[in-house]
Structure 1
């Protein structure tokens, strides 16, 4: 479960989107780069045009006891090692450029392990241009004849565009042309020129392409920007910093802001207006030389930052005459295509990075982990219907592109794979992330509304201009008179000269005829001269009028320049105020950042304490439940033990009572025998020993008791009531066992015989033994 980002600020509610918005999944493509050497072990196999299979290396299988299995992953399309840059552009980037021309945004980024070919896919090399130069070439080939002049569109520093009038744009162009060119301290060497490839070397003319669906009733302008995200800080790669040979100034990081349409942008980022592919590629290469790269154990030129090259296309419709741009800011459409080259994920155990390289690797991995977390939360919200907060703010990369995942354009991802066996584990993690990304859906961008003017305005205006130019060229005059065909008619009405040969001095016919023709020609020439004079006066008056208009325009321009100088002063003051406010804003943002970090630390401590409290509470609940369970168990054991001891005590009491009764009975018998002996010895005559009363036998018939006398006697035992309402008798008599020899004489002796004491001793010795043979009889009586 992810933890929410630190220091979240509540987002202002934007325009609510319709619930029935159509969505498209994120397009994920895979490109496999060739191996470095032929004998190198390969762990990636292309199964089909949309599926690849990963094989675990032999050494890894042996070390992990066959834990890794062959896994297959599917993509929208898989490009093998023989895929050209042109084929890759046709399938992935070309549709995004088409959408860019039709006012739709797009995001294309490369993802993969370090050294997997991401920078080559995006930039390319001489003769094999990547997606970025090919996208620029297609864009300018499509809108080339329909571009507006420079400074007609101008950024407003709030992620928007303003339209300037023709005069303001002309003045700004003149102001720029009059600025001195920056002095170059040193002429670039041939080695540096070789390191800066020209655009002509990237793409051959045969591979050039263009879009045929371009609205020719619009004017277009292209603005490019180039930034990098290094250690989670944003830096402008196109920013011109003054060169100081003594103390070089470190580049200033930029901040992210949200415009009025809730779109994220980099505040203060340089946006350069370009008019050709060569110019745009030159700007890109200028920023590319400032990008941070380093030599690591895995890549000789490893990117240490995430680079973002943004192509912003501005278009506005022409007016009804098709001459100028419609001066309506609401009709200006701005679309952008972001080409992102993400830094590769890497393990420090393999790169053996230390110091700053270790910190760079940690920040790279952290930003990529945040991207994965955002994709996971988006996927969970869409598939499970949850409404968890996506932690865009945890990283500058995800915060910058959150609008695309919220439905502001198409998203395309190219997963670059290095098939060597050493990258197997990292490649497997990349494949899992790519598989998860394909399940995220992004809202399909809608078409922008088109102005209500009639189409074909530019074409009609161009046809009219061509026809007017042709007619002026045919007439040889920049202006017309009242009768434009008069000059042609006069030229055609000139009479031809008659033959002038005089054969006879008296010829009166030829000379008069010649004089007549010459007079006619003279009159026609006078008419032509008058016509030319009239035309000249007309032209002179037009020139005077034009001069007066020109003077008025110069006066107007002078007034505008004075106003412009005043506005420049106001702008300078406002810029100074803006700089002051910017510094104050940065200070406050720094304080806010510190407070956010402090709040994050407190929130983390709070979560840890809450978690510890919850753990202790659960432990206490478990202890209480265990205690209650033990109490119930002990109560049951106490009850069982109590019942057991009560029964045991009752049994022992009964046994003790029986034992005491037996002892009492034995004493009574001894006393009777002793009394009988004493009585016999005192009388001096032998008397027969009284017979010992018989004890009840062990017969099961309890209805017959021992016979002690003829008269009825009470029952020899205890009587108690039963549950059924009857009575039970507990006999307490003692059974005495006697043994007689069947062949010997009778054991009866007289009182005077010598065996009397022996017989008494025998009785005394046998009496205790009788207690061991005690039997309790119970008799139930019915009432």
Structure 2
């Protein structure tokens, strides 16, 4: 590659083919026969499109079942009995048809070393390969329409030019004079005995329907890519036995159509298949080959044989080639014989051979990488860059994969078991290559000349002009040839004069006819002028009508514009009205909801207020009654004490005086005082044991500070209990039992009190733990009843419960409904 300092100017993007249709890469498989009959075979042809890989015996044991039998499908499979002719019919013949029709093509053979690639491409005497058969078909088709030598000329920029026949003749003479050995037709057509009889006469083929109004010329070039360098195999080098000059490598360039080509490569114009194949054989002898353990003549380079077909249309007379560079159509067919991939361990390569094998494998690996990236971009829609420039072989043919022509590949395989691993890799690459789509090339344009120009010109010459006699002088005393030639030329001159006179008469006749037509045209012109005057008047009327129509159209457009504005305004007002109505309805609904919510809230608050008022009235009444009862009890106790004191006093003074009756307003309520004997000592209230739980147990009474005092009549009383608002280790260490007073709101909205009891247990670590054993529940219900209504209290004991401190209660205070 060439590297320059600074920035490289940006080139325009390459042109893309206008055709959107694509075709997959055509991959064919050819199986060569085994070298020995007793040799193990690992490939079996199942059908015309499928082969199956069999695992050799050694791989089953050595690889621990890593390999498995797999089938691979191709466009067509050619077995060992398929001839070279049949292979050409299916693979290369369609590409030759496209070449003559002005389309490009690429055909390359791929496989491991010794798989038959070179035989498939070149062949042997009597069994010509794809290359000699392609050349034979091309010249069998275009031989009658070939241009003379040097009429088509290369411009060294991958393009073609057309020069006149006189210039072509001068160039032929100049080249023949510069040659040290004069070339005669017999020496030019002398064929190398090594390449004689490549194709049998009965196997020759020809394309029908070729354009006979065009001239054709064939150019061939032959290069090889060795160690990633390009060398011209047709380049003439001066032999120097003392200090031989090494061949110079060529570089790749891009022409004005963004097509890659080998710059400075010699392109030889050939006029027959024998001459073209002789040029190929001259370059084939320079190709790099070497003797390895696997192949006696192993190719150490990739060879590329390029067949370039230039065609240009004949002029309008069908006599000479049209000298217009834009009308030249150039198509090319590239036949590539890739070097075989190999493992250096099997070939026994050393030194230079190892480097050659490494470069071959690296270029083939880069070809696989390019195919993989192309496949991934097409299947998954990615836009990864294809690494064409990493190798010369892929860089040279990048245009074919971008849609400049059809691509075909012949995969050659050797069925012997020793090549199983390499063949397996070749099969996987071939299977992946079939999934790559290449854009279909577009058809060349058809020229605007009438068809059949060549045959009309030839028939005209044969009919009017007598053929010239032979002008070859074989004897200096020949007196017949020159008079005969002079007589023929005089006859041609006489015919020319007669034709000139006939042409002049025809011209005079045409002039008189034109004069008559001029007179008729004058009268017709006067009539046309009158009609034109009338047309002008009509045009004025039409113009005035058009102006009126335009005015009315403008007015109509203005009215339509106003109507549109009014319609838009009306629509806006309707939308505003609709939105306001919706907003009004929404607000009304919200107001109704708020009013209903307010009424419900008022009812609820009234109920709460009435309940609270009744509750407080009841509480006040209860407290007043309790206070009255307490005061009455105190007054009764006081009266009792006074009575006793009075009795003591009266007894000491006058024992015979009777005790006055007690006042009725000092008696305790709901009690009747019966007469009793006069006490002699001070009365003492007897002590009563409350319950069996008041034994030697000591309790921790845990009452949170957040508990409410409900004023319940039944309250648990625990004697000698330690009352705490939060449990502590110190309090638990002094007690045996634990009780927690818990309040919560029940489902009906009333407060429910729970006494959660448990045993205090000492732990192994020296601490205390509480094990809960029972729950006592106290629930109070308040119901509105008339004031001063008596009520009954029922206490319901839970069956089987353990009586706690003082007592255990599970009661519901109820009031009777009025």
TM-score (norm 2): 0.58
Residue deviations 1:483-515 (CA, integer Å, cap 9, x gap): 98xxxxxxxxxxxxxxxxxxxxxxxxxxxxxxx
Q: CA RMSD in A?
A: 3.5
Q: CA deviation at 1:701?
A: 3.4
Quote the offset at 1:780 in angstroms: 8.3
Shift of residue 716, structure 1, vs aligned partner: 5.4
2:302 to 296, 306, 312: 306
Alignment partner, residue 478 of structure 1: 489
Deviation at 1:26, TM superposition (A): 0.3
CA contact (8 A) 2:220 2:268 kept: yes
Counterparts of 1:410 and 1:138, CA distance in 2: 18
Q: 1:642: which partner in 2?
A: none
Quick one: distance in 1 between partners of 2:299 and 2:101?
33
Deviation readout 1:365-412 (Å, 9 max, x if unpaired): 000000000000000000000000000000000000000000000000
Which of 313, 320, 323 in structure 2 is aligned with 1:324?
320
Paired position in structure 2 for 1:393: 389
| Counterpart Cα distance in 1 of 2:334 and 2:161 | 22
Q: What does residue 603 of structure 2 align with?
A: none
Q: Is the 8 A contact 1:734 1:775 kept in 2?
A: no
Matched residue, 2:290: 294
Q: How much does 1:163 deviate?
A: 1.1
Residue 719 of structure 1 deviates from its aligned partner by: 2.5
Task: Give the paired residue count.
Answer: 511
Note the C-alpha offset of 1:322.
0.7
Does 2:172 match 1:173? yes
Partner of 1:51: 50
Task: Please tell me whether residue 721 in structure 1 is matched to residue 725 in structure 2.
Answer: yes
What is the distance in 2 between the residues matched to 1:429 and 1:175?
54
Is the 1:718–1:730 contact (alpha carbons within 8 Å) kept by the matching residues of 2? no
1:360 corresponds, among 352, 356, 360, to 356
Q: Within 5 Å, which residues of 2 pair with 1:128-527?
A: 128-181=127-180, 197-470=193-466, 477-480=488-491
Q: Distance in 1 between matches of 2:56 and 2:245?
A: 49
Query: 1:516-566 CA deviation, whole Å, 9 max, x = no partner?
Result: xxxxxxxxxxxxxxxxxxxxxxxxxxxxxxxxxxxxxxxxxxxxxxxxxxx
Aligned residue number for residue 106 of structure 1 = 105
Per-residue CA shift, 1:128-155, capped at 9, x if unaligned?
A: 1100000001101110011111111111
Structure 1 residues 319, 705: closer, same or farther in 2, change over 3 A?
closer
Alignment partner of 2:693 out of 693, 701, 705 = 701
- Quickly say closer, same or farther: Cα 1:19–1:408, change in 2 above 3 A: closer
Question: 2:89 maps to what in 1?
Answer: 90
In structure 1, C-alpha distance between the alignment counterparts of 2:26 and 2:176, rounded to whole Å: 45
Where does residue 76 of structure 1 map in the other structure?
Answer: 75
Q: Could you report, residue by residue, the CA deviation over 1:148-197 in whole angstroms, capped at 9, with x for unpaired residues?
A: 1111111111000111122221111110111233699xxxxxxxx99x54
Rate the CA distance shift 1:218–1:19 in 2: closer, same or farther, 3 A: closer
Distance in 2, Cα, partners of 1:482 & 1:150 = 30
Contact 1:729 1:780 in 2 (8 A): no
Query: Structure 1 pair 62/478, CA: closer, same or farther in 2 (3 Å)?
Result: same
Q: Write out aligned runs for 1:757-776 (5 A).
A: none
How far apart are the structure 2 equivalents of 1:207 and 1:324? Answer: 34
CA distance in 1, matches of 2:398, 2:232: 20
The separation in 1 between residues aligned to 2:398 and 2:326, in whole angstroms, is 25
Question: Contact 1:718–1:731 at 8 Å: present in 2 too?
Answer: no
Structure 1 residues 74-120: Cα deviation after superposition (integer angstroms, max 9, x where no partner): 00000000011000011111111111000000000000010000000
Structure-2 change in CA distance of 1:255 and 1:701 (3 Å): farther
For 1:49 and 1:124, how far apart are their aligned partners in 2? 23
Distance 2:247 2:493 in 1: 69
Work out which of the residue numbers 708, 731, 734 in structure 2 matches 1:732.
734
Q: Which runs of 4+ in 1 moved over 6 A?
A: 7-11, 471-476, 481-484, 772-783
* CA distance in structure 2 between the partners assigned to 1:11 and 1:464 by the alignment: 55
* 8 Å Cα contact 2:15-2:258 kept in structure 1: no
Going from structure 1 to structure 2, the CA distance change for 1:200 and 1:20 (only over 3 Å counts) comes to closer
Shift of 1:65: 2.3
Distance 1:356 1:482 in 2: 73
Change beyond 3 A, Cα 1:135–1:481: closer
The 1:371/1:721 distance shift into structure 2, 3 A limit, reads: same
Q: Tell me, which stretches of 5 or more residues in structure 2 are unaligned?
A: 1-5, 184-189, 470-483, 496-690, 700-716, 738-765, 773-803, 810-818
Q: Tell me the SS of whatever aligns to 1:451.
A: coil
Larger deviation: 335-344 or 55-64?
55-64
CA distance in structure 2 between the aligned counterparts of 1:462 and 1:437, rounded to whole angstroms:
50
The CA deviation at 1:468 is 2.6
Cα deviation, residue 17, structure 1: 3.4
Query: Is contact 1:8–1:393 with CA below 8 Å preserved after alignment?
Result: no
Deviation at 1:479, TM superposition (A): 3.6
Partner of 1:190: none
| TM value normalised by structure 1 | 0.61
Q: Distance in 2 between matches of 1:118 and 1:146?
A: 34
The answer as to whether partners of 1:716 and 1:731 remain within 8 angstroms in 2 is no
* Aligned-pair CA distance for 1:277: 0.9
For the residue of structure 2 that corresponds to 1:243, the secondary structure is coil
Partner of 2:117: 118
Query: What CA distance in whole angstroms lies between the structure 2 residues aligned with 1:203 and 1:110?
Result: 20
1:66 deviation in Å?
2.4
Equivalence for 1:504: none
Unpaired segments ≥5 residues, structure 1: 1-6, 185-192, 485-698, 708-712, 736-771
Deviations 1:600-619 (A, max 9, x none): xxxxxxxxxxxxxxxxxxxx
Q: Secondary structure at the match of 2:489?
A: coil
Q: Cα deviations across residues 700-728 of structure 1 (Å, max 9, x unaligned)?
A: 93676589xxxxx99656421259xxxx9
Question: Partners in 2 of 1:129 and 1:731 — Cα distance?
Answer: 115
Alpha carbons of structure 1 residues 734 and 722: separation in structure 2 relative to 1, 3 Å: closer
Aligned CA distance change for structure 1 residues 729 and 11 (closer, same or farther; 3 Å): same
Larger Rg over CA atoms: 2
Seen in structure 2, the aligned counterparts of structure 1 residues 272 and 734 have a Cα distance that, compared at 3 Å, is closer
Matches within 5 A, 1:659-674: none
**Cα displacement (A) at 1:351:** 1.0
Measure, in 2, the Cα distance between the counterparts of 1:212 and 1:775. Answer: 111
Checking the alignment, whether the CA contact within 8 Å between 1:138 and 1:209 is kept in structure 2 is yes
**Alpha-carbon distance between aligned partners in 1 of 2:368 and 2:239, rounded to the nearest angstrom:** 40
Partner Cα distance (1:482, 1:353) in 2: 77
Greater alpha carbon shift after TM alignment, 107-116 vs 468-477: 468-477
- Structure-2 separation of matches of 1:271 and 1:154: 10
Say whether the 8 Å CA contact 1:732–1:776 is kept in structure 2.
no
Cα 1:293–1:468 change in 2 (3 A) is same
8 A Cα contact 2:378 2:436, kept in partner: yes
